[in-house]
């Protein structure tokens, strides 16, 4: 049994075994076109995407490869359906990256008495070691 043939995709089996191949809806065809392009990518890209092992730059290469492998109808769907999600994701990401007063400042928080007590404890321990 051959596991991978360049002209074969798992979607082809679904298309052939459909009980009513002529009664495909537009959405079913769009889904099949997408998955046909997805599984035509290199194993590295689609397996890496599904297992979340791709770096940021590899994700960009994955997206460009997927876009290049799609037919024109699937490209239009990727753009139309992907742009709103991309805008939302970038908006949420930008709000987390905004820094009002520069990088966060590290401060020692807590009552001054606790800091003084800790300092006394350190100096007492130092005196015990020296004597």
Model confidence pLDDT, tens digit, residues 49-76: 999 999 989 999 999 999 999 999 889 9
Residue 65, in any domain of the structure: yes
Residue 85, in any domain of the structure: yes
Residue 125, in any domain of the structure: no
Structure tokens at 115: 């800091």
Residue 105, in any domain of the structure: no
Task: Check: CB of residue 41 under 8 Å from CB of residue 62.
Answer: yes
Provide the 3-class DSSP secondary structure of residue 105: coil
Residue 55, in any domain of the structure: yes
Residue 110, in any domain of the structure: no
Residue 53, in any domain of the structure: yes
- Residue range(s) defining the domain that contains residue 2: 1-99
Number of domains in the chain: 1
Residue 57, in any domain of the structure: yes
pTM: predicted TM-score of the whole model, two decimal places: 0.51
Give the per-residue pLDDT at 97: 73
Largest CA distance in the chain: 94
Give the per-residue pLDDT at 1: 47
Cβ of 105: how many Cβ atoms within 10 Å?
6
Tens of each residue's pLDDT in the chain, 131 residues: 445 445 555 555 555 555 555 567 888 888 898 899 999 999 999 999 999 999 989 999 999 999 999 999 889 988 998 899 888 988 888 887 765 555 555 555 555 555 555 555 545 555 555 65
């Amino acid at each position: 049994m051959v596991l991978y043939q360049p002209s074969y995709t798992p979607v082809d089996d679904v298309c052939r075994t459909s009980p009513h191949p002529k009664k495909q809806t537009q959405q079913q065809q769009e889904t099949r076109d997408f998955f046909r392009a997805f599984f035509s990518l290199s194993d590295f890209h689609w397996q890496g995407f599904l297992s979340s092992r791709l770096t940021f730059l590899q994700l960009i290469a994955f997206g460009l490869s997927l876009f290049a492998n799609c037919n024109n109808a699937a490209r239009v769907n990727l753009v139309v359906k992907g742009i709103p999600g991309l805008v939302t994701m970038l908006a949420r990401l930008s709000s987390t990256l905004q820094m009002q007063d520069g990088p966060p400042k590290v401060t020692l928080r807590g009552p001054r008495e606790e800091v003084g007590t800790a300092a006394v404890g350190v100096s007492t321990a130092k005196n015990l070691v020296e004597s």
